[in-house]
Structure 1
Amino acid sequence: MFTALVYLFWCLNNTLLTNKKRIMHYTGTIWRPPYEAYSMLIQVTAGCTHHSCKFCTLYEDLPFKFRLSPIEEVKSDLKEASYYYRHARRVFFTGANPFVLSVNKLKTLAKMVHQYFPACQSIGCFARITDITPKSVTELKELRKLGYDGITIGVETGYDESLIFMRKGFLSKDIIEQCKKLEEANITYNFFYLTGIYGSGKGKMGAKVTAEIFNQLHPQIIESSMLTIYPTSELYKEIQAGNWKEETEIEKLEEMKTLIENLKIDARFVTDGASNLIQVRGNLKTDKQKMIAFLKQQIAEQDEAYLRSYRENLPHL
Structure 2
Amino acid sequence: MFYNDDFPIQYIDPVYRPPSEARSLIIPVTNGCSWNKCSFCEMYTDEQKRFYVRKEHEILEEITKSGQVLQDVNRVFLGDGDAMVLSFRRLKTILLELNNAFPDLKRVSAYCLPGNIKNKTIKELEDLKNLGLSMLYVGFESGDDEVLKRINKGESSLSIFEAMEKIKQAGITSSVMIINGLGGVDMSEQHAVNSAALVNKIQPEYLSSLVLTFHKGPQRFRKEFGTVFQPLNSVQLLHEMHSFIKELNLRKTIYRSDHVSNLLPLKGTLGKDKNRLLSEIELAEKQLGYRSLINLKQI
- The answer on 1:126 being equivalent to 2:107 is no
Which of 242, 267, 276 is matched with 1:290 structurally?
276
User: What CA deviation, in whole Å up to 9, does each residue of 1:276-315 have, x standing for no partner?
Assistant: 2321111112221121111111111137999xxxxxxxxx
Please give the secondary structure, in 1, of the residue aligned with 2:271: coil
User: What CA deviation, in whole Å up to 9, does each residue of 1:89-113 have, x standing for no partner?
Assistant: 2211111111111100100110111
CA distance in 2, matches of 1:150, 1:174: 19
How many residue pairs get aligned? The number is 290
- Identify if the C-alpha distance between structure 1 residues 220 and 85 changes in structure 2 by more than 3 Å, giving closer, same or farther: farther
Corresponding residue for residue 167 of structure 1: 152
Which of 2, 11, 15 is matched with 2:2 structurally?
15
CA distance in 1, matches of 2:7, 2:168: 40
1:263-282 matches, cutoff 5 A: 263-265=248-250, 266-282=252-268
CA distance in 2, matches of 1:163, 1:305: 34
Is the CA contact 2:8–2:66 (under 8 Å) kept in the aligned structure 1?
A: no
Is the CA contact 1:55–1:166 (under 8 Å) kept in the aligned structure 2?
A: yes
Gaps of 5+ in 1: 1-13, 307-317
- The answer on 1:68 being equivalent to 2:56 is no
In the TM superposition, structure 1's runs of 4+ consecutive aligned residues that sit over 4 Å from their partners are 303-306
Is the CA contact 2:178–2:195 (under 8 Å) kept in the aligned structure 1?
A: no
Is the CA contact 2:210–2:259 (under 8 Å) kept in the aligned structure 1?
A: yes
Q: Displacement, 1:22?
A: 6.5
Query: Counterpart of 2:228 in structure 1: which amino acid?
Result: N
Is the CA contact 1:122–1:148 (under 8 Å) kept in the aligned structure 2?
A: yes
- CA RMSD of superposed structures (Å): 2.3
Which of 158, 168, 178 is matched with 2:143 structurally?
158
Query: Counterpart of 1:92 in structure 2: which amino acid?
Result: F
Query: Counterpart of 1:110 in structure 2: which amino acid?
Result: L
- The answer on 1:299 being equivalent to 2:275 is no
Corresponding residue for residue 212 of structure 1: 197
Which of 243, 254, 265 is matched with 2:239 structurally?
254
TM-score between both structures, scaled by the size of structure 1: 0.84
Query: Counterpart of 1:282 in structure 2: which amino acid?
Result: G
Is the CA contact 1:268–1:284 (under 8 Å) kept in the aligned structure 2?
A: yes
CA distance in 2, matches of 1:16, 1:120: 25
CA distance in 2, matches of 1:304, 1:159: 32
Query: Counterpart of 1:56 in structure 2: which amino acid?
Result: C
Please give the secondary structure, in 2, of the residue aligned with 1:222: strand
Is the CA contact 1:29–1:61 (under 8 Å) kept in the aligned structure 2?
A: no
Moved more, 297-306 or 249-258: 297-306
TM-score between both structures, scaled by the size of structure 2: 0.89
Corresponding residue for residue 193 of structure 1: 178
Percent of pairs with identical residues? 26
User: What CA deviation, in whole Å up to 9, does each residue of 1:233-257 have, x standing for no partner?
Assistant: 5214457x85322122221111112
CA distance in 2, matches of 1:174, 1:37: 30
Q: Displacement, 1:173?
A: 0.7
